[in-house]
Amino acid sequence: MEEAKEVLKSLSFDFALMDLNLPDGESIELLRVQAIPSNTIVILMTAEGGIKSAVEAMRLGATDYLSKPFDVEEIPLLFLKSEKQRKNQRLVQHSLEKRRKKTANLYFEGSFADDLEQLSKVTEVDQRLTNDLPPILIDGPTGSGKSTYARWIHDNGPRQDAPFVAINCSAIPDNLVESELFGHEKGAFTDAKNARIGLFEAADHGTLFLDEIASLSLEAQAKLLLALENKIIRRVGGTKEIKVDVRIIGAANQDLRKMITEGSFREDLFHRLDLLRIQIPPLTTRGKDIPGLSEHLILSLASKYNVIIPKISSKSKNFLVANPWTGNIRELIHELERGLILTEPGNALEIRTNHPIHSISNPDDWLNENFSFPESGFDLEKEMVRLIQMAIAQTNGNISEAARILGVPRDYIRYRLKKKNF
């Protein structure tokens, strides 16, 4: 034992095959005192009855163990398996670090500070509970960052080292939803040539993010509700009940209450999901905070394209504030990325768009003095929103000032813009 400690001080190994019992003690002590470098793959050899020590060794960093007697040919195969496992673990770790870096760098200035307050309240609850974390429902229009906020909650909660599994429910065919969520046994259906675990099992002890949850069929909603309430699933074609501990985060870009009245979403599932809620407003309502968000986003975009970080031109800043952003942050990122690519080094970033916010040169525009109402009808709701956007642009994103010049309450503006985007 002591001789091994001395050798390990001056030599390094890719692999170490250790017998549990050494003349002056157990080799597990080398792991306990961290005498073996962490990048060394350790395989423990143990006689019958030494399984408990082998499990302890794996807890301390050993990769695997061999029970005596064993075939010598097993050793290189086990080393190859262990090396592959170590590489996979490193890839997973790299992916986690990359995701955490991204969520840690989110923009929470101005009105976005309200979002941080909502998120922080959820993670405060999570840290107190640790286990049995309640479901979360994230409300927001398409492209508003629901998946990013879901990852932020996971990365800042007690399960940050556990899996985060995300799925877009609208992308799964109805006949495969149950198999995707709960898995299936071999032969459960025509294409089930092998057994496969579902996303609930893959996310066990972690987080399962269900984006566009409103697209699930009523049948799938019923099975999801059952899994949420009982914390037990059963694979398609199987009879075994499998316990799962999964934090569910659902996201919707539709009004679920309206869908309940229409009979297309289960009320009991809604109330089960709606224990904690995060509401993300449309980007249009952010007004004067949009240029600041844009400058923050340009930092990562400039790094992506390895270019000097440009300033945003004054004209483009006005456009950022006044544009309706029907695609929300996703659309904003797209426009910024395009502008960055087209901007010559040293020049200010110009956002070029083929969709002007308003134009009075068009004879069919009601701002034109020669305008007359078309026989096909006039979209009053749409033009009311346009008026609001013009007022916001004129006041450089100051919603309170826009409300004043329009002669309406501030909440009226937020209501109109939110109604337009949902």
Domain range enclosing 399: 284-355+375-421
119 and 257 assigned to the same domain:
yes
- The predicted pLDDT at position 87 comes to 78
227 and 161 assigned to the same domain:
yes
9 and 117 assigned to the same domain:
no
CATH number of the CATH domain containing 121: 3.40.50.300
- The predicted pLDDT at position 359 comes to 42
222 and 272 assigned to the same domain:
yes
308 and 258 assigned to the same domain:
no
247 and 276 assigned to the same domain:
yes
Out of 254, 280, 306, pick the residue that ends a domain.
Answer: 280
- The predicted pLDDT at position 363 comes to 58
- The predicted pLDDT at position 57 comes to 84
- The predicted pLDDT at position 3 comes to 77
- The predicted pLDDT at position 370 comes to 62
247 and 298 assigned to the same domain:
no
Look at residue 16 and tell me if it is in a domain. Answer: yes
Q: What is the mean pLDDT of each run of 10 residues along the chain (422 residues)?
A: 76 82 81 83 79 82 84 86 80 72 86 94 92 93 94 94 92 90 89 89 95 94 95 92 95 93 96 94 90 94 91 89 87 92 89 52 60 79 81 73 84 77 46
- Closest by CA to 57, choosing from 70, 48, 69, 44, is 44
146 and 273 assigned to the same domain:
yes
- The predicted pLDDT at position 396 comes to 62
- The predicted pLDDT at position 127 comes to 92
Q: What is the chain's alpha carbon radius of gyration, rounded to the nearest angstrom?
A: 29
- The predicted pLDDT at position 364 comes to 64
124 and 253 assigned to the same domain:
yes
Residue 241 CA to residue 239 CA, distance in Å, equals 6
Cα–Cα distances in angstroms (integers) from residue 35 to residues 4, 20, 21, 123, in the given order: 9, 15, 17, 38
Look at residue 91 and tell me if it is in a domain. Answer: no
54 and 126 assigned to the same domain:
no
Torsions phi, psi for 157 (to 5 deg): -110, -175
Look at residue 67 and tell me if it is in a domain. Answer: yes
Out of 227, 256, 280, pick the residue that ends a domain.
Answer: 280
